[in-house]
């Protein structure tokens, strides 16, 4: 049929790219809502199941991240060869069911197994989504598209906390898990039916011609290792994620323990404003990065992130030195206004640097490191430090544990600057 001709399929994929981006963003939203709902429920779960901060840190990070990150590689490899939208739809259904099943857990082991299930499901969404977006949007528009996609992180995490807290206050934490998890099954069916599957390299036609053969996984890893700009980007986004996951995973508990807020207060007065401000930051970062790229070159996108993070840093640290909830939250929101700007440019640059036929694999490799180190160690490290500091600092041990992790931010700022410098040097040599 005429509609099977490649040029017709390409036209349709590009015509529907707005819908595709919206569905991928909504999927990412559900991913982070299901992942981050645990943050607002930690204190309730701790009291119900009699858990330590170390156990809570494991549930928030490491046990989820190990499966989420490591399974991302083989699934991404499959996504580079088969239907990406089907992988995304199936993954969404799996993690949604497992989130709902978390509400049935009666002890640490059962809850841990449910969280592993969530990690297994979510492993299949990120890399194929990055690959599809890179195929639908050219380099000069990719950071903005990735920024829109990244709204799922900020809105999903924020609304997950808000919905989870309100439902848990009215009923209990178990009902909250089910309310957040089950609607994802419906979205999975919609994704299966309506998400576009673009031709690989559609927005990079010339580069697609340069890589006719499918490289091996080993070649993909070696290619990333040989690219110093990509390595610095991975270091930068990993450290940023470590600090971010530590804050989002333990922030509600810190607000309850050290600032005297209730779970309902955090849900009503922090979660939604933080989601809106963080989303504005992500969009601002994407637009600023694309404008900088048009004026100075793609390397400038990395420098834009470094500047935004430098502005946010003193306010992020100040959050832990103030006891007045109003002043502390003001500092927290100002930091959030700039801190979320890294999302779109970081992943867009990784996709720009990646070989066309290894985009899912490079995204998975990036997410592997981000999630093993950032998500896996961030919340766990805070929990472990909090338990270790408890004999000295008592109820304030969580405050100092979170501050220790936040002080890694300057290293991430340097890595973003260095990545931009290396990209510029590579262009200047050509």
Question: pTM of this prediction?
Answer: 0.72
Which pLDDT does position 8 carry in this prediction? 65
Percent of the chain past pLDDT 90, that is, above it, reads: 35
Let me know: does 248 contact 340? Beta carbons within 8 Å. no
Whether 206 is in a domain gets the answer no
Question: Is the confidence at residue 243, as pLDDT, over 50?
Answer: yes
- How many angstroms separate the CA atoms of 319 and 397, rounded? 15
pLDDT, mean of residues 140-162? 83
pLDDT, mean of residues 93-110? 93
Pick the closest to residue 343 from 174, 177, 129 (CA basis).
129
- Cα–Cα separations (whole angstroms), residue 26 to 88, 104, 105, 339, 355: 12, 26, 27, 21, 27
Which pLDDT does position 2 carry in this prediction? 39
Whether 421 is in a domain gets the answer yes
Whether 208 is in a domain gets the answer no
Choice between 8 and 333, residue whose per-residue pLDDT is larger = 333
Whether 229 is in a domain gets the answer yes
pLDDT, mean of residues 368-374? 83
| Burial class, 193, CB count within 10 angstroms (exposed 0-12 / middle 13-18 / buried 19+) | exposed
Let me know: does 320 contact 403? Beta carbons within 8 Å. yes
Range with lowest mean pLDDT among 327-336, 373-382, 407-416: 373-382
pLDDT, mean of residues 51-62? 82
Which pLDDT does position 418 carry in this prediction? 96
Kindly state the helix (H) or strand (E) to which residue 427 belongs, with its residue range. helix 409-429
- How many angstroms separate the CA atoms of 39 and 112, rounded? 15
Count the Cβ atoms, other than its own, within 10 Å of residue 416.
30
Question: Is the confidence at residue 399, as pLDDT, over 90?
Answer: yes
Domain range for 384: 2-201+215-429
Whether 209 is in a domain gets the answer no
pLDDT band with cut points at 50, 70 and 90 for residue 153: confident
What is the number of domains present in the chain?
Answer: 1
- Domain containing residue 175: CATH number: 1.20.1250.20
pLDDT, mean of residues 331-336? 93
- How many angstroms separate the CA atoms of 185 and 263, rounded? 28
What letters, b where the CB count within 10 A reaches 16 and e where it falls short, cover 322-343?
A: beebeebbebbbbbbbbbbbbb
What letters, b where the CB count within 10 A reaches 16 and e where it falls short, cover 136-175?
A: bbebeebbbbbbbbbbbbbbbbbbbbbbbbbbbbeeebbe
Whether 207 is in a domain gets the answer no
Mean of all residue pLDDT scores within the chain: 85
pLDDT band with cut points at 50, 70 and 90 for residue 158: confident
Lookup: tokens for 163: 């919905």
Whether 340 is in a domain gets the answer yes
Which pLDDT does position 430 carry in this prediction? 64
Which pLDDT does position 192 carry in this prediction? 92
Range with lowest mean pLDDT among 20-24, 135-139, 199-203, 394-398: 199-203
Question: Is the confidence at residue 280, as pLDDT, over 80?
Answer: yes
Whether 188 is in a domain gets the answer yes
Could you read off the pLDDT of 168-224 as tens digits, one per residue?
989 999 999 999 999 999 999 999 988 878 877 676 655 444 445 556 667 777 888
Count the Cβ atoms, other than its own, within 10 Å of residue 83.
14
Residue 310 CB partners (closer than 8 Å, separation 6+): 413
Annotate 385-397 with DSSP letters as a single string: HHHHHHHHHGGGH
Which pLDDT does position 420 carry in this prediction? 93
């Amino acid at each position: 049929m005429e509609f099977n001709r490649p040029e017709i399929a390409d036209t349709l994929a590009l015509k529907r790219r707005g819908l595709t981006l919206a569905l991928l963003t909504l999927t990412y939203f559900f991913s982070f809502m299901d992942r981050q709902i645990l943050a607002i429920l930690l204190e309730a779960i701790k009291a119900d199941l009699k858990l330590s901060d170390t156990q809570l840190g494991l549930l928030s990070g490491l046990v989820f991240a190990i499966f989420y990150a490591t399974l991302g590689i083989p699934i991404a490899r499959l996504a580079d060869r088969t239907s990406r939208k089907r992988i995304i739809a199936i993954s969404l259904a799996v993690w949604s069911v497992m989130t709902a099943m978390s509400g049935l857990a009666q002890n640490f082991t059962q809850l841990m197994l449910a969280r592993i299930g969530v990690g297994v499901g979510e492993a299949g969404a990120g890399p194929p989504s990055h690959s599809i977006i890179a195929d639908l949007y050219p380099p000069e528009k990719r950071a903005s598209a990735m920024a829109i996609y990244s709204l799922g992180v900020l809105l999903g995490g924020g609304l997950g906390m808000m919905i989870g807290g309100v439902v848990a206050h009215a009923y209990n934490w178990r009902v909250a898990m089910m309310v957040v998890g089950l609607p994802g099954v419906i979205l999975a069916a919609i994704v299966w039916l309506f998400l576009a599957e673009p031709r690989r390299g559609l927005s990079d036609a010339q580069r697609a011609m340069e890589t006719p053969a499918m490289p091996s996984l080993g070649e993909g890893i070696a290619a990333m290792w040989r690219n110093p700009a990509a390595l610095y980007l991975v270091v930068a986004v990993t450290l940023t994620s470590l600090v971010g996951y530590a804050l989002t995973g333990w922030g509600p508990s810190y607000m309850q323990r050290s600032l005297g807020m209730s779970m309902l207060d955090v849900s009503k007065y922090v979660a939604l404003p933080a989601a809106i401000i963080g989303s504005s930051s992500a969009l601002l970062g994407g637009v600023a990065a694309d404008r900088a790229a048009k004026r100075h070159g793609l390397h400038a996108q990395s420098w834009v992130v470094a500047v935004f993070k430098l502005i946010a840093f003193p306010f992020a640290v100040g959050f832990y030195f103030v006891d007045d909830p109003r002043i502390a939250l003001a500092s927290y929101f100002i930091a959030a206004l700039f801190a979320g700007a890294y999302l779109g440019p970081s992943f867009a640059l990784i996709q720009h640097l990646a070989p066309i036929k290894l985009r899912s694999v490079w995204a998975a490799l990036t997410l592997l490191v981000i999630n093993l180190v950032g998500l896996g160690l961030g919340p766990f490290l805070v929990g472990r430090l909090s338990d270790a500091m408890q004999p000295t600092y008592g109820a304030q041990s969580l405050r100092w544990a979170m501050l220790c992790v936040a002080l890694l931010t300057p290293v991430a700022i340097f890595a973003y600057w260095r990545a931009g410098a290396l990209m510029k040097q590579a262009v200047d040599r050509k």
